[in-house]
Structure 1
Amino acid sequence: MKIALVTIHKVTNYGAVLQAYATKVALSKHGEVSIIDYQNRHLAQHMDLVRFELSVHGIKMLAHDLLNLPNRYKLLLRFRKFISSNMSLTNEFKSSELLEGKADNFDIYVCGSDQIWNPGVVSAIRKLDPIFFLSFVKSDSKKFSFASSIGHHQYSEDEKKEVRKLLKDFSMISVREKDGQIKLQEILPEKDVYHVVDPTLLLSKKEWYDSFNIKEEEPNENYILVYSVPRTTLIKKAIEFFAKKLDMKIVAIDRMLLPITKIDMHVRDAGPNEFIHLYANASFVITDSFHGTCFAVNFEKPFACISANEKANRQESLLELLGLRERIMYKENDFNTLPSLVDYVSVTRKLEIIRNASLQYIAAAVDK
């Protein structure tokens, strides 16, 4: 059976690339999986050595990339190597080529996780991209979604009509956030919309470690790993608080030229492989990222999840399922109440239950 996956896969975002990898691995249990190498220019620009657009933000981005050129060059090499080695990509396709039927040789089509249904993520002008709703697939072909995400976007009435039209002939639909399930269920009351885990959680800790040749052993040095995307004031305060409380060095992983705050080690050129190893060897994690939270939980690390305000819905949905809602920090006073350890016997048991349910969803969707 030949399965085509459409997702966000060619960007310098750890969560996006690793969720694409995990989705491919999970689907591979049911057939030969290829990721359609769809060329969405808004997303593809993340792989440019030097990025530029005609705006104030674009000029700042250009200056940043030029100043950070050696690190960015090494980072892109590592991402490209991982993607080419692990993704089983098709030829590159523009949207017009897909609509012409140049990828019509698959038995099943799946649109996968990450924020593919959030117009603010996939489009410079904040428009829905029909390709990520499998609009190019023939009407008689089987198609379903797995853990697709709307993020924190609120659909307008016109967008709701478009989404309804695009999803009406899906055999099964699933999303990775509870509020996304509610939003789509209102748009498609006649269909069942399932809530499943993020693809990075489909693989167990052991599966990740085995895939990346990681041996579980005592680290040479204890450190707090910081993985921040929006770099809020609250996470900077969290770094200062937990560094002092735990008396450990701070290792921060991000692509920015300057460190988030005063830290011991700033890793700016890590690829997906280095990212996984840094997580696996960390003693404590501070993150405001959804995927950062996923890996902390899956790798059984004590962690502090720092709220990024309205963007925390994905973390809230996940941690609610696992009984870990108290690990979300909304304000500085919350730091003092965070338990030092996590009962991972209980948490991992819950995670295994929802992981198995999500794998069963995939099996049912393939067979339907």
Structure 2
Amino acid sequence: MLQTYATKETLKKLGFEPIIIDRIPEAFGRNYPLHRKLAHPFTQRAFYLFRKHELQPISRPVFNSQELTDLLQSDYYGIVIGSDQVWRKEVFSVDGDYYMIHQQQLPIKKVAYAASTGVATWEYDEQETREIAAALKTFTGISVREEESVHMMREHCGVEACSILDPTLLADPQIYEPLRKKAKLSGTRKLITYILDWTVDKQRIIEQACVETGLEVQHILPQEKKRKGIWSRIINQDPCVYDWVNQIATADFVVTDSFHGMAFCIIFNKQFVAIGNATRGMVRFTSLLGQFGLSQHLTVDTLPNITQTIDYHSVNKVLTDKRIEGINFLRNSL
């Protein structure tokens, strides 16, 4: 959600009027928008409120490729696809629409911004690859999030792509201040954790980090959280997006196995340890940290040397240059 928010705000600053396309997998059923409207205020309240207040305007629901084509033909100048793992087959496979396979003939600008394959291996078969390659050749700009994806685009699809910042990092950090003002929780004088997939090793790393920093731990997503069944989903809500942002922004130290947890540590200049999460795509971690010279802050099962603080003077110089690259890419592609 924060990627979408950041992309929208960046496009607004570039003079565009972004509309978020409500692309719903047809398998969800035509009644899904009604279900979402009635159930999500109770079962997914954090996301529902963020979507309602921060992710507007949004298009009418579209359930298949033809409906998406019809929508884009109405009055759209272009479409920006991305970011995150929209090009990872295991995660997203909505009728090829994230590659514009069925919209090749549309006379609009088609741009991929920081699209991620999530992994360092090509997941598509020969027929899928031919369709993807043909569709990508109609794009006016192709950027990906990881350097490995640049090579895959060239090798498998015959197209040139550039590696570019995730939109959460691209955006002016000031766009997060209105979100923080709505937060109720803070991470001040705390070791904040944001762990998606708890393991014994991760728990041990967090305990060791608490000892070495002398900080009290505060979990954004507690280990004991269980969400099976509708009543459990109502009781055990996802963390509020506003609180999520503010806890990382105000933390004294962060431990996370999330790509975007790591990205927001960089945005807010936090000292952190990133625990590689192979299930969710390890290349996402190694690629981002490598760009900023922060690979030594990535671990898998042991606590790295946290007395070696991150030099954010150097990191921010790289970040500024890469933000300029990203903005120029969008300007030139659109």
Equivalent-residue separation in structure 2 for 1:336 and 1:133 (angstroms): 39
- 8 A Cα contact 1:224 1:284, kept in partner: yes
1:6-33: CA deviation from partner (whole Å, max 9, x where unpaired): xxxxxxxxxxx00011011111223111
Matched, 1:109 2:94: no
Equivalent-residue separation in structure 2 for 1:106 and 1:193 (angstroms): 24
Give 2:23's match in structure 1, choosing from 38, 58, 63.
Answer: 38
Give 1:272's match in structure 2, choosing from 235, 241, 263.
Answer: 241
Shift of 1:338: 3.4
> Which residue does the alignment assign to 2:322?
354
Whichever residue aligns with residue 97 of structure 2, its letter is: I
Shift of 1:277: 1.3
- Unmatched 5+ stretches in structure 2: 227-235
Distance 1:336 1:171, change over 3 A: closer
Give 1:209's match in structure 2, choosing from 177, 182, 194.
Answer: 177
Matched, 1:200 2:185: no
Give 2:50's match in structure 1, choosing from 82, 86, 97.
Answer: 82
Equivalent-residue separation in structure 1 for 2:330 and 2:288 (angstroms): 19
> Which residue does the alignment assign to 1:170?
139
Whichever residue aligns with residue 82 of structure 2, its letter is: G
1:271-290 equivalent positions in 2, closer than 5 A: 271-290=240-259
SS of the aligned residue for 2:90 comes to helix
- 8 A Cα contact 2:191 2:255, kept in partner: yes
Q: Which moved more, 1:310-319 or 1:92-101?
A: 92-101
Distance 1:349 1:75, change over 3 A: farther
- 8 A Cα contact 2:179 2:242, kept in partner: no
Distance 1:100 1:346, change over 3 A: closer
> Which residue does the alignment assign to 1:7?
none
TM-score by length of 1: 0.76
Distance 1:42 1:288, change over 3 A: farther
SS of the aligned residue for 2:18 comes to strand
Report the number of matched residues.
311
Distance 1:300 1:91, change over 3 A: same
SS of the aligned residue for 2:114 comes to coil
Equivalent-residue separation in structure 2 for 1:244 and 1:38 (angstroms): 46
> Which residue does the alignment assign to 1:306?
275
Shift of 1:296: 0.6
Whichever residue aligns with residue 176 of structure 1, its letter is: R
1:104-148: CA deviation from partner (whole Å, max 9, x where unpaired): 22011111201111121124xxxx641112235343222111111
Q: Give the RMSD, CA atoms, in angstroms.
A: 2.8
Shift of 1:268: 4.9
1:172-191 equivalent positions in 2, closer than 5 A: 172-189=141-158, 191=159
1:144-155 equivalent positions in 2, closer than 5 A: 144-152=111-119, 154-155=122-123
> Which residue does the alignment assign to 1:122?
92
- Unmatched 5+ stretches in structure 1: 1-16, 50-68, 260-266
Give 2:3's match in structure 1, choosing from 4, 16, 19.
Answer: 19
- 8 A Cα contact 1:74 1:269, kept in partner: no
> Which residue does the alignment assign to 1:143?
110
SS of the aligned residue for 1:146 comes to strand
Equivalent-residue separation in structure 1 for 2:42 and 2:216 (angstroms): 25
- 8 A Cα contact 2:150 2:160, kept in partner: no
1:318-365: CA deviation from partner (whole Å, max 9, x where unpaired): 111111111111332xx2523342111111111111111111100111
